Structure 1
Amino acid sequence: MSAVSVTVIDDHPVVLAGVRAWFTAAGITVAAAGPDPAVAWTPPGRSADVVVIDLHLADRRPTAGAGAWDDIAALVAAGRRVVVYTMRDDRETALRCLEAGCATFLTKAEGEEHLVAAVLAAARDRPYVPPALAGAMSADETPDRPRLTDREREVLLAWFQCESKHLVAARCNLSPRTVEGYIDRVRVRYARAGRPAPTKASLVARALQDGLVALEDL
């Protein structure tokens, strides 16, 4: 895979400088950075592989019910890979980020190692579960847990571990269309349970919450 690029949205200059240094050291190109989400929509930020965004932006407080969430929703709807990197560390916020379609959620206390790994994973459409998110998901006691067949679980886990459905098909000795069918059936079951999982990241979260896969499997 070619070099990964990222757009960083944060309104603290010290954070921007520190995160830029981390990414540069890891060989990740910072295409754009700034306090306004608009940097993700204008060149060169528009073409970045991943968008890292803080929830606590000036005039975009998540407690207001809109703001940063609107920006995240627009980015996800446009097909962007979004990593939330914030001071908030509560379970509700972590799960809400996954519900919104973000690739993953990190607290700023988790630092360089996890942020770099999360961005690299998101760029490759691979799941990444840092400690804070793992804790949030393990604490989720949602009762509506779809029951999957052994084959569905096998295909689902293979998809979490592979970069494409074609690789899953080769591993499981199935056609790509059959793999697609298995994954679609799992999504339908979650949707019927009132717990939609439209993105790969959200499906990973559901599977972890429900004990269908374990962190070590990923």
Structure 2
Amino acid sequence: MPPPTDGERPTSVAIVGGHRVVCAGVETWLKGSHPRVEVIGYFASPAEFAAAHPRAAADAVVLFDLPCEGPDFDALRQICEAGHPVIAYTCSITDDVVSAAEAAGAVSCVGKHEPEHVLTAAVRSARGDHPHAAPRMAQAPHDAHRIVRPTLSRRERQVLIAWFQTENKHAVAERLYIEPSTVATHLQRVRAKYAAVGRPAPTKAALVARAIQDDILSVDDL
């Protein structure tokens, strides 16, 4: 069989935490997806994963298992801040958990009870240009008369402002001393967070508008 072309190259997934039986089930789900998704490794703990993958890899997504009791949001945040696009996978899909996962930097939060097509859609979009809001994230309650502001991390704000003030992601990477892929991951997270609160910003111009609305920057900063 000939090797896959660039358009057919599978998205790689590393699973962090969780029971082996859960990981086996997830791998079975993902194997049947199209475009292809390939599980490249299982790591029993966040520390084990961080030691093996200190930096984000191209076309790779992290599926982070959040325990129902005592979810480790600090470990989730550390992996996100290293530049990895992360999907929080949990059975406790409450508003508090979704908000905390989003604040830690997760691209999406998917419930273990949700069907496989929800998980595969989240995985594919985590490395793409279009953010994905899982059903439970999109249902986050908010007042229709109040602007809901997503919780952006300090680094996400830095990347966002630098991107507005420079020509491209490579210039942002040079300014902040990070990899271009890390810049792209942070921007994907920001878009996902805005989509999750019902304020999608698929273009740079739309993100500028959102940032001004939310006092992240002013017109004079541009």
Alignment TM-score, normalising by the size of structure 2: 0.60
User: What SS is found at the alignment partner of 1:106?
Assistant: strand
Q: Which residue of 2 aligns with 1:17?
A: 24
Distance 1:45 1:28 in 2: 22
The alpha carbon displacement at 1:201 in A equals 2.6
Which runs of 5 or more residues in structure 2 are unaligned? Answer: 1-6, 150-162, 170-185, 202-222
Distance across 2 between alignment mates of 1:61 and 1:204? 25
Work out the CA distance in 2 between the residues paired with 1:30 and 1:98.
23
Match among 102, 114, 123 for residue 118 of structure 2: 114
Q: What residue in structure 2 maps to residue 34 of structure 1? A: 43
Is 2:89 aligned against 1:85?
Answer: yes
Match of 1:140 in 2: 142
Q: Does 1:61 align with 2:92?
A: no
Q: For 2:25 and 2:62, locate their aligned partners in 1 and report how far apart those are by CA, in whole Å.
A: 16
Q: Give the partner amino acid of 1:49.
A: A
The counterpart of 1:200, out of the listed 183, 188, 191, is 188
How many pairs does the alignment contain?
Answer: 158
TM-fit CA distance, 1:8: 0.7
Name the CA shift for 1:19/1:208 in 2 (closer, same or farther; >3 Å): closer
Residues 133-178 of structure 1, C-alpha deviations (whole Å, 9 max, x = no match): 1112xx03494658xxxxxxxxxxxxxxxxxx9xxxxxxxxxx83x
Letter in 2 for 1:54: D
Which AA in structure 2 matches 1:206?
Y
User: Is the counterpart of residue 124 in structure 1 residue 128 in structure 2?
Assistant: yes
Q: d(CA) in 1 for partners of 2:39 and 2:97?
A: 26
1:207–1:13 CA distance, 2 compared to 1 (3 A): closer
**Whole-angstrom CA distance in 1 between matches of 2:18 and 2:196:** 32
Shift in Å at residue 49 of structure 1? 0.8
- Is 1:54–1:85's contact at 8 Å kept on the other side of the alignment? yes
Change (3 A) 1:100 1:202: farther
| Distance change in 2, residues 1:56/1:201 (3 Å) | same
Q: 1: CA distance between counterparts of 2:118 and 2:51?
A: 27
Gaps of 5+ in 1: 63-67, 147-164, 166-175, 181-197
- Give the fraction of aligned pairs with identical amino acids, expressed as a percent: 27
Q: Contact 2:132–2:195 at 8 Å: present in 1 too?
A: no
Equivalents in 2 of 1:117, 1:102: separation in Å? 15
Most deviating of 8-17 and 32-41: 32-41
